[in-house]
Amino acid sequence: MSRTRSIPTNKSASSRSRSAGARPSSNKSQSQAGSRSQSRPRTKPYTKEQLHHHNSHRFLGFLAALFAIVAMLCTAARALPADLQALPYVPVAIAATPWFALLGLIAMLMAIMSRKVLAALIAVAAVVINGYWQYPFFHSPDPLPQAAYNAVAASEANTADAFARVMTFNVYKGQADAQTIVDTVRDQRVEVLALQETTDDFVQRLKEAGIERYLPYSNVSSSDGVYGNGLWSATPLSQPVDDEVNSSASFMPAGTVDMGGNQIRFVSVHTTAPVPGYWRQWKRSIDELGLMRGHTDTRYVFMGDFNATYDHAPFREFLGSRFLDATRISGHGFTFSWPTNRPGLPMFAGIDHVVLDQGMRAGQCKTVRITGSDHAALLVTIDVMQ
């Protein structure tokens, strides 16, 4: 009987063969995955320094946008109608209008550094608009003649010509140093002086300091019997009155001075301050001054604390097409006069003014700090000759 010899099947070998045949496919997949992985570089986490720089950049951009918007809004507030400018706290913001150009410049630099295009454009717009409004303070269309400079440079004031050095000063409830005022009048050869917030005691101290030696003629009045306003002159004050304006704010005394044959009526002005509870009264007191434009038979010079800057619409409406702000037409730049008694805070508002009638000129504007007051004195050389 023949025997059939069987050949054993090596399953493990076959299995290994199949496994071996499968490996190339697996290696190919891994190779493709590795290739895709290499084509997408992994993002490395920020280092502490990079994260700090990134956050600083974002914060700088935020400040740029914030400053630009504030500068634009506060600059634009100058264009508001007079009634809207009498809303609470709006007059305070508008008083600082020129400074928002500086804020706009800061915002512009921050925006450039942080690459915030929109913020940069807003900042530039705020700076340009503000510059357009403030430029006239630095350019005089009708400067003083040389004769005016010669007249006030003499050792003593010449009261017979049409030129005069004038001064206005809020004495802060009679607390200002009377002797310094007299010394300033002497040194600056002042011919007409307007003071606000005087008291009886202050007027007496002013006399004791020698004011009558230089300005012997005066007219002082008070609406409440406590604080008043006054005028002092080197020549007689004709037709004096206690209140030329019939103001709801305070008595505004006046008197006429002969300046080289020109009869000029000077008025010492003090309007209501824009503080809580008196916003509307502030505008009303300036509007009352505006009625003086109708007195066409008199040539005026108003000097005093108007509690408003040229950027305030009520003040510009008072000026109208007749009156001129001496500081603005002189081309000598800003004459900020308030406040002087706030440590760390510079004078930022030009609320003291010398306002001239049409046909007059002004120059040599400057402010002088005098101890005891929250205002600086404003001095101006005027030419009243038509």
- Adjacency order of strands within the sheet including 262-270: 238-241, 254-259, 262-270, 299-305, 352-356, 324-325
pLDDT of 268-300, one tens digit each?
Answer: 999 999 999 999 999 999 999 999 999 999 999
In angstroms, the CA 221 to CA 229 distance is: 6
Q: How many angstroms from the chain centroid is the CA of residue 111?
A: 23
Question: Please, which residues bridge with residue 241 across strands?
Answer: 254
Take residue 288 and report the two structure tokens written for it.
Answer: 């009352």
Q: Confidence class of residue 82 from pLDDT cuts 50, 70 and 90?
A: very high
In angstroms, the CA 273 to CA 173 distance is: 14
The CA R_g of the chain, rounded to the nearest whole Å, is 38
Q: Confidence class of residue 34 from pLDDT cuts 50, 70 and 90?
A: low
What pTM did the predictor assign? 0.85
Residue 9 has pLDDT above 70, yes or no: no
In angstroms, the CA 385 to CA 331 distance is: 19
Residue 344: its pLDDT value, please? 87
Mean pLDDT of 78-84: 97
| φ, ψ for residue 299, nearest 5 deg | -100, 125
Q: Characterize the bridge pairing of strands 163-170 and 190-198.
A: parallel
Question: Please, which residues bridge with residue 238 across strands?
Answer: 256
In angstroms, the CA 314 to CA 291 distance is: 12
For residue 293, the 8-state DSSP code is G
| φ, ψ for residue 179, nearest 5 deg | -65, -40
* Averaged pLDDT of the chain: 90
DSSP assignment string, 325-342? EHHHHHTS-----B-SSS
In angstroms, the CA 271 to CA 265 distance is: 18
Residue 1: its pLDDT value, please? 46
Number of residues written out for the chain:
386
In angstroms, the CA 286 to CA 215 distance is: 29
Helix (H) or strand (E) holding 37: helix 11-39
Question: Above pLDDT 70, what percent of the chain?
Answer: 85
Q: Confidence class of residue 380 from pLDDT cuts 50, 70 and 90?
A: very high
What is the greatest pairwise CA distance in the chain? 166
Residue 267: its pLDDT value, please? 98
Question: Please, which residues bridge with residue 170 across strands?
Answer: 196
In angstroms, the CA 283 to CA 294 distance is: 19
Task: Cite the beta strand spans of 271-325 per DSSP E.
Answer: 299-305, 324-325
- Per the model's pLDDT, the better-predicted residue between 347 and 17 turns out to be 347
Please tell me the least confidently modeled range out of 41-50, 113-122, 275-284: 41-50
In angstroms, the CA 288 to CA 250 distance is: 11
End-to-end Cα distance, the chain? 156
Take residue 115 and report the two structure tokens written for it.
Answer: 């690459």
Q: Confidence class of residue 43 from pLDDT cuts 50, 70 and 90?
A: low
Residue 13 has pLDDT above 70, yes or no: no
